[in-house]
Amino acid sequence: MSSSLFCFVKVGSFCVCKIKDVRNGSGNTIMQILIYNNHHMEVNLESRDDMLCGPPTTTCQESIRPFIESFEETPMLVAVLTYMGYGILTIFGYLRDFLRDWKIERCHIAREREEQRDFVPLYQDFENFYTRNLYMRIRDSWNRPICSVPGAKMDLVERVSPDYNWTFDYTGKVVEGVINMGSYNYLGFAENTGYCADASAEVTMKYGVGVASTRQEMGNLDRHEEMEELVAKFLGVESAMAFGMGFATNSMNIPALTGKGCLILSDELNHASLVLGARLSGSTIRVFKHNNMQSLEKMLRDAIVHGQPRTHRPWKKILILVEGIYSMEGSIVRLPEVIALKKRYRAYLYLDEAHSIGALGPGGRGVVDYFGLDPRDVDVMMGTFTKSFGAAGGYIGGRKELMEYLRSHSHSAVYAASMSPPVVEQIIASMKCIMGEDGTTLGRDRVQQLAENTLYFRRKLTEMGFIIYGNNDSPVVPMMLYMPAKIGAFGREMLKRNIGVVVVGFPATPIIESRARFCISAAHTKDMLDTVTIPPMLGTKWLPFSHQRHKQPVPPLSSLSSP
């Protein structure tokens, strides 16, 4: 990091602010920080005067730690070696396919029988090339069976493979006390003891496990009604409704909101559920660069000026799809700027808070709370109960008219079975904890503990020299591995040390950006985080190319303000 550039910018008619552009030794911008009064948030220097965030809220007068995100460019040597690694794997893959065709090597993959060769093939053989020749080498790093509560520590069923990961045999042994760094248990509510577990057990005895009907028929319980009222109160919106599956909340509700003649502007790193929902809607889809306000504004401007293709008629609706926290990058949406653009061009905003609800903001109310914004500025607030709440399902919140429309037009509301009563009670109990309605400070303490654990863990990794992506306040911490051989090696070596991690590679990430993804929890203790970040644990000796070239600045723990 060699230079910093400050300049003054007028934010609309609101106030004068300054932008700090932090650059590395190569002159590349690593991060941007917008500072007005004592309020910090990220901006881009190319943003014009009047397209930045809305008027300062009361939080502007408070001391809030900087909104800093880091995405360091892949080192050239690492990129070259990564491509070479994939190239070598591809060459050996073709060689092994040749040996399989000539019956020299045993073939484990499913194939059509000889008498079916003249039929239309069920799949193209090349489509399975990556699966059988690359994925199978590291398949043991995924789908590990767990035989305990996925809390801060967990127990795994031990398994071995006699045929290089094509099949697995269970040894009957259990690997106990594995530090869980992969589950989305942000607030530690995935537990089998305590207030939430006791409440769920009591409801199970009264209502049973299943409802055996849809909400519109005989499956609408009083607990469902109470849950939705509580969700609306928690979000600060007029009304809310819940669904039994988080993925279906996106994929089945977006088609009910938009259709032919509508335009969807989607962030390039949006989750698969958002992508599927957009495709099922029949709307025109255009993708803007990740968290890039210039790209989004250009698409909005073009949509207004040119209208629909060929006819040039105005679009019926323009819907912007973004996420609160992006689960692979650890980045946080630049929501103030998105809302400003949405208002200027009169578009609608759909915010997916699957990872941010409960995990961000002084009150755990997500990215809207994190920025101190008005929930009414977001047209559709979506989130899931599977992460911070330790339950299952998803929700949508917004205006009462919108909820009434979805109740009769959403496939997931009309045709899906009702949520299980103990799951509903888990949601109610955990949400009351976060809101403080259980008569304790347990929820508030967990939100604060998660923020402290996140900052502490990110600072430790940065000080060790690893390249980590995302926002300093994001509990999703991607650590770059790059090379394909490191994906499996890192996962196996960490498990040998009783640490469970999630490793991710192509096609879930760009081909040269394989990574390990840590998910921080309020249930993690400082000793656990220290154990994970001990140099021999992270394998610094056999991960020589994961060290960053330029140190990323991380604020000290003393900068962490109380919510």
Active site residues: 327, 355, 387
Output the DSSP codes for 26-47: TS-EEEEEEEETTEEE---TT-
Calculate the alpha carbon distances from 209 to 304, 310, 387, 431 in Å. Answer: 50, 54, 21, 20
Distance, in Å, from the CA atom of 433 to the CA atom of 440, rounded to the nearest integer, reads 7
Q: Are strands 69-70 and 470-471 parallel, antiparallel or unpaired?
A: antiparallel
Residue 506: partners with Cβ closer than 8 Å, 6 or more residues away: 86, 484, 514
Q: Are strands 470-471 and 394-398 parallel, antiparallel or unpaired?
A: unpaired
| Phi, psi angle pair for 117, to nearest 5° | -65, -25
Q: Which residue type occupies 423?
A: V
Distance, in Å, from the CA atom of 507 to the CA atom of 413, rounded to the nearest integer, reads 32
Angle in degrees, 0-180, between the axes of helices 335-345 and 293-306, rounded to the nearest 10: 10
Angle in degrees, 0-180, between the axes of helices 272-281 and 246-257, rounded to the nearest 10: 30
SS3 of 515, please?
strand
Shortest CA distance to 514 belongs to which of 488, 550, 540? 488
Report the 10 Å Cβ neighbour count for 85: 17
Distance, in Å, from the CA atom of 68 to the CA atom of 553, rounded to the nearest integer, reads 9
Distance, in Å, from the CA atom of 197 to the CA atom of 195, rounded to the nearest integer, reads 6
Q: Which residue type occupies 83?
A: Y
Distance, in Å, from the CA atom of 413 to the CA atom of 434, rounded to the nearest integer, reads 27
Calculate the alpha carbon distances from 354 to 308, 332, 396, 408 in Å. Answer: 32, 12, 11, 24
Give, as one character, the DSSP assignment of residue 125: G
Q: Both tokens of residue 523?
A: 């249930």
Give, as one character, the DSSP assignment of residue 211: -
Residue written as tokens 């969807």?
264
Report the 10 Å Cβ neighbour count for 428: 23
- The vertex-258 CA angle with 252 and 262, nearest 5°, equals 145
Shortest CA distance to 294 belongs to which of 262, 256, 338? 338
